[in-house]
Structure 1
Amino acid sequence: MSSAKTRPANRVPAKIVLAAAAADIVLILAFAAIGRDAHHRENPVAGVFLTAWPFLAGAALGWIAAKAWRSPLSVRRAGVAVWLGSLVGGMLLRGLTGQTVVLPFVIVATLSLALFLLGYRLLGAAAAKFRNR
């Protein structure tokens, strides 16, 4: 078999997929760290992971549902799914594990995660359009 049949020509390089996944993880951790810092909680490192894990799990589900590795920098194909997965999955998991889920937090999480998870993808798309001019 030729490599053209085993690997599509438009396949996204693994380093791009890994970079997008890492960016999502770092940005969700930053969201959790900013929130923890704003509320002056104890155990900063463990607390960040306690706050972040439901959102990270939800983002992973979003990656899987959207098959985001096929177009990890796409706002529409990957970003929206990762954002909604992290938000909805994160809130559901927080609620199921007895963590706080109140309207002000949902609003802040919605806006913050959208800014973070969609923002870098939008910037990347704008930069690509600019480069192609």
Structure 2
Amino acid sequence: MTSARRTVAAALLADAVCVVVFCTIGRRSHAEGLSIAGVAETAWPFLTGTALGWLAIRGWRRPTSLTPTGLAVWLATVVVGMALRKVSGQGTAVSFVVVASLVTAALLLGWRGVAAVLVRRRPTRLDR
């Protein structure tokens, strides 16, 4: 596997892990139980949004970029996730939309921000 493909795979995995972490924390904080089925039930709308965001922005082109990839993936995660929750009978209270937007922004944009800092700090060949 090439370095570029590994980067895409790692970025996609990081986004999926962030969404699952968000859903797991949410279920835990509301005492809904942490079964695999329960987390999957909560996560699928958001994971669908994440995948659609990747497809819409062609995330594989710039998988670790904050903009446009990170922003598009985050927006799709929230918008599609909430729409799917609504049609599937899950909650979409305004307070939940606000919290979900903030937490997923911190996670999906946050790891990209950290990655950007780490890449900038990486020594060049002349520094070695």
> What TM-score, normalized by structure 1, do the two folds share?
0.87
Stretch of structure 1 that moved more, 118-127 or 40-49: 40-49
Show the counterpart of 2:55: 64
Q: How many residues align?
A: 123
CA–CA distance in 1 between the matches of 2:34 and 2:21?
Answer: 15
* 1:48 to 2:39 alignment: yes
CA–CA distance in 2 between the matches of 1:43 and 1:37?
Answer: 7
CA radius of gyration, larger in: 1
114, 120, 123: which one pairs with 1:123? 114
Aligned amino acid, residue 22 of structure 1: L
The Cα shift of 1:13 comes to: 1.0
Show the counterpart of 2:96: 105
* 1:83 to 2:46 alignment: no
The Cα shift of 1:42 comes to: 3.6
CA RMSD of aligned residues (A): 1.6
CA–CA distance in 2 between the matches of 1:97 and 1:108?
Answer: 20
Show the counterpart of 2:13: 22
- In the alignment, structure 1 segments of 5+ residues that lack a partner are 1-10
> What TM-score, normalized by structure 2, do the two folds share?
0.91
Runs of 4+ in 1 over 2 A off after TM superposition: 130-133
